[in-house]
Chain A
Amino acid sequence: MEEDKLHEEIIRLVNVSKSYDGQQVLQNINLGIGRNEFVTLLGPSGCGKTTTLRIIGGFEMADSGDVIFEGKKINNLPPYKRNLNTVFQKYALFTHMNVYENIAFGLRIKKMDKEEIDKKVKEVLNLVNLRGYEKREINSLSGGQQQRIAIARALVNEPQVLLLDEPLGALDLKLRKDMQLELKRIQQRLGITFIYVTHDQEEALTMSDTIVVMKDGKIQQIGTPQDIYNEPVNAFVADFIGESNIIDGVMVEDYYVEFAGRGFKCVDKGFLPNEEVDVVIRPEDIKLVPVEEGMLEGVVESVIFKGVHYEMIINGNGLRWMVHSTMMEPENTRVGMQITPHDIHIMKKVKTE
């Protein structure tokens, strides 16, 4: 049952393209979003993620392509006729109204009666942990509280889809982490679709059911956080999601790749013989071992303490390797490095246009 609901599609973008002043910001976006799904559009600034969200919200019109909502084309429907709500980047609260009036705004437009509005405002304030804040003025609230009000103002309308445009961007780290968990909790409790835009990969990995990685107006990869992290489709995704060593290599044959001057067993296949590839290795997947046991060797060039782990740059085999480890090797030590076949990710070279 749950599983069925997850797969039922609520929004679909078909060949959506958009340009501003002759500059293409979205190219043939095709994307299906399921009911109850927490989808994150992730990418660097200017990748088109916010434009995609605004097209779904109705604030921008696509130049071509269709936006389908519950099986119906809504290309030209203005925002006020769409059954979805948005949480804006800088909250966009109504400063001339108090908290209660802000939240009640959408309900009043629907001509709901007073008692029901009272009840719903109370409920949603409980949901965002701001019980008793009805009479407060917007300007008297902290950034985190304003953010909660913005979320409450959208959720009180019981939309089937909630759009969130980098809603945590202005909050400090600790608060951001708390809000991430809280948003996830709210999404699961209400069972509605969240479409979330961020450039923060950690945020995306923490909250999402599905991540859509975008770059230059194109979708690079769609997958679960695990898929995206463990099996990035290209060097861009690998680099954007977490830190990576990206090395030029040659795929000699299936399950055998050469890089850094020697051959390695790997788990990938299906490349042309001797095809040039990108080899991606996560810093935490390189094990430091005594020199004689290593597949590669090098000298520790620098060590930075990162809290949970040490980040070491190791100069070896003509390359500089980033290694994360909880064990520290002092600078200028000779170390060996070991990589298991499973941790070597082979990617087709991205053609530079």
Chain B
Amino acid sequence: MKKHLMAYPYALWMLIFTIIPLALILVYSVITIDDAGIHFTLDHFRRVFEPIYLAVFWRSIKIATISTIICLILGYPMAMILASKNLSKKSILVVLFVIPMWMNFLARTYAWMTLLERNGLIATIIGYFGIQLPSLLYTENTVILGMVYNFLPFMVLPVYSVLVKIDKAVLEAAEDLGATPFIVFRRVIFPLSLPGVSSGIIMVFMPALTTFVISRLLGGAHFTLIGNLIEQQFLTTMDWGFGSALSVVLMLIIILSMGFAMRYEKENQGGGLW
């Protein structure tokens, strides 16, 4: 019974700062307020499906997906190296990996701006070789770079924590049964690491899909992702109804993609990969 009591503060916190705001967003997304009072409406949702906004959704999903895939490709080997047995080298790697995390998110992203701008460090160095670079800043690829840079740890850590838990004897057993190191990876290590991979994918995809800071700083003022669009509705155009509708649709996309990732995880718990 005491345990229940201890859950109350958290429940209260959730109620005030999560449930009520969520409910408010749901309400705002289906009402309009004018001189005559409050009316129910689906206009906000209708607007969401106008081609101009669908294009923003599409671009956000595309960029988040590309970033997630790059994080997976870079992060998985990194997690494997971290999880491998050599301790002395490992601690150096962990430190190298963690140090950037100590810096403020904005400072890190601003650092990329100074590196990439027209007269920035990278352009200057490459300029010495007589090569004139097009602008490195304010492109789609720059935004992807920023996302990969910022969200990579969220891929590495869950994969790493699953990999270190794999019993070494299981890998030896596979080798014992004739599996070359490559087959050991493909048939044992990788399938066993899938729960880590799927939570890594969720943890990178979600912030990548919703960010508005990275796209603002590295993509420029006219580079719009869903995050920017929602921010505009609430802070610039003050169209809370439309902003709420956008938020609801974004939430649905996230819930659907999480459901997909988790279903995939369950399917792979049993049975072979062949």
Query: Which residues from chain A contact B269 at a C-beta distance below 8 Å?
Result: 96
CA distance A198 to B272 in the complex (A): 33
Q: Which B187-227 residues have C-beta < 8 A from chain A?
A: 187-188, 191-192
A92-B178 in contact (CB<8A): no
Number of chain A residues close to chain B: CB under 8 A: 28
Decide if B178 touches A110 in the complex (CB within 8 Å).
yes
Binary CB contact string for chain B from 233 to 274 against chain A (1 if under 8 A, 0 otherwise) = 000000000000000000000000000000000001111101
Residues of B within 8 A of A153 (CB): 173, 177
* CA distance in complex: A205, B269 (Å): 42
Question: In the complex, which residues of chain B have a beta carbon less than 8 angstroms from the beta carbon of A90?
Answer: 167, 169
Whether B176 lies near A86 (C-beta < 8 A) is yes
Complex Cα gap A316–B79 (Å):
67
The complex places the Cα of A333 from the Cα of B218 at a distance, in Å, of 96
Within 8 Å of chain B (Cβ to Cβ): is A78? yes
Report chain B residues within 8 Å CB of A133. Answer: none
Q: Which of A88, A96, A97, A137 has the most CB of B within 10 A?
A: A96
Which A residues lie within 8 Å of B191 (CB)?
96
Would B177 and A98 count as touching, CB distance under 8 A?
no
A154 to B178, CA, bound (A): 11
Chain A residue numbers with a CB within 8 Å of B272 are: 97-98, 101, 104
> A59–B172 contact, CB under 8 A?
yes
> Which residues of chain A (67-107) have a CB below 8 Å from chain B?
78-80, 85-86, 88-90, 92-98, 101, 104-106
User: B274, A108: Cβ atoms under 8 Å?
Assistant: yes
**A103: nearest residue on chain B (CB-CB)?**
B177
B101 at the interface (CB under 8 A from A): no
A80 surroundings in chain B (CB, below 8 A): 175-180
Contacts of B11 in A (CB 8 A): none
Say if the beta carbon of B15 comes within 8 Å of chain A.
no
Tell me whether B271 and A101 are in contact (CB under 8 A).
yes
Contacts of B169 in A (CB 8 A): 88-90, 92
Assess whether A1 is interfacial by the CB under 8 Å rule.
no
Complex alpha-carbon distance, A80 and B185, angstroms: 14
Given contacts A96-B192, A96-B270, A98-B271, contact A79 B183 (CB under 8 A): no
Query: Cβ of A92 and Cβ of B173 under 8 Å apart?
Result: yes
A36 at the interface (CB under 8 A from B): no
A223, B191: Cα distance in complex, Å: 46
Q: Point out the residues of chain B lying under 8 angstroms from A108, CB to CB.
A: 274
**A78: which B residues are within 8 A, CB to CB?**
175
> For residue B172, which residues in chain A have a CB less than 8 angstroms away from its CB?
59, 79, 86, 88, 92
Min CB distance A116 to B, Å, is: 16
A105 — which chain B residues lie within 8 A by C-beta? 174, 177, 179, 187
> Once the chains bind, are B268 and A96 in contact (CB under 8 Å)?
yes
The answer to whether A85 touches B270 (Cβ under 8 A) is no
A94 contact from B188, B268, B274, Cβ within 8 A: B188
A308 touches B (CB below 8 Å): no
Chain B residues lying within 8 Å of A96, measured Cβ to Cβ, are: 188, 191-192, 268-270
CB nearest neighbor in A for B193: A96
In the complex, what residues of B have CB within 8 A of residue A95's CB? 192
Residues of A within 8 A of B20 (CB): none
Residues of chain A lying within 8 A (CB to CB) of residue B183: 109
Of residues 114 through 153 on chain B, the ones whose CB sits less than 8 Å from some CB of chain A are none
Minimum C-beta distance from B151 to chain A (A):
27
CA of A326 to CA of B187, assembled, Å: 57
**In the complex the two chains form, what is the Cα distance from A79 to B184 in whole Å?**
12
Task: With A88-B172, A88-B173 as known contacts, state yes or no: A109 contacts B167, CB within 8 Å.
Answer: no
CB of B179 within 8 A of CB of A109, answer: yes
**Inside 8 A of B274's CB, which chain A residues have their CB?**
108
A90 to B172, CA, bound (A): 12
**Residue in A closest to B269 when the chains form the complex, CB atoms:** A96
Q: A315-326 vs B: 1/0 string, CB under 8 Å? A: 000000000000
In the complex, what distance in Å separates the CA atom of A104 from the CA atom of B169?
18
Please tell me if the beta carbons of B175 and A79 are within 8 angstroms of each other in the complex. yes
> What are the nearest 4 A-B pairs in CB distance?
A106-B177, A92-B169, A92-B173, A101-B272
Give me the interface of A with B, judged by CB distance under 8 Å: 57, 59, 78-80, 85-86, 88-90, 92-98, 101, 104-106, 108-110, 137, 153-154, 157
Q: 18 extra interchain contacts, Cβ-Cβ under 8 A, other than A94-B173, A96-B191, A153-B173?
A: A57-B176, A59-B172, A79-B172, A80-B178, A80-B179, A85-B176, A86-B176, A89-B169, A92-B170, A92-B172, A92-B173, A96-B188, A96-B270, A97-B270, A98-B270, A101-B271, A105-B179, A153-B177
A-B contacts, 23 listed (Cβ < 8 Å): A59-B172, A59-B175, A80-B176, A80-B177, A80-B178, A80-B179, A86-B173, A89-B169, A92-B169, A92-B170, A95-B192, A96-B269, A98-B272, A101-B272, A105-B174, A106-B177, A106-B178, A108-B274, A109-B178, A137-B270, A153-B173, A153-B177, A154-B176
